[in-house]
Amino acid sequence: MLKRSLKFLHYVGLAEGCSFLLLLGIAMPLKYFMDLPQAVRLFGMAHGVLFVLYLIAVAVVTLTHRWPLKRVVIAVIAAFLPFGPFVLDGRLRKEQQFLK
More confident residue, 93 or 32: 32
d(CA 68, CA 91): 15
Q: Is the pLDDT of residue 1 over 70?
A: no
DSSP state of 34: S
Single-letter amino acid, residue 86: F
d(CA 79, CA 67): 17
Q: Rg for the chain (alpha carbons), in Å?
A: 15
d(CA 41, CA 30): 11
* 3-class secondary-structure state, position 63: helix
Query: Domain residues of the chain, as ranges?
Result: 1-99
Q: What is the pLDDT of residues 35-68, one digit of tens each?
A: 999 999 999 999 999 999 999 999 999 999 999 9
Q: Is the pLDDT of residue 2 over 70?
A: no
pTM comes to 0.88
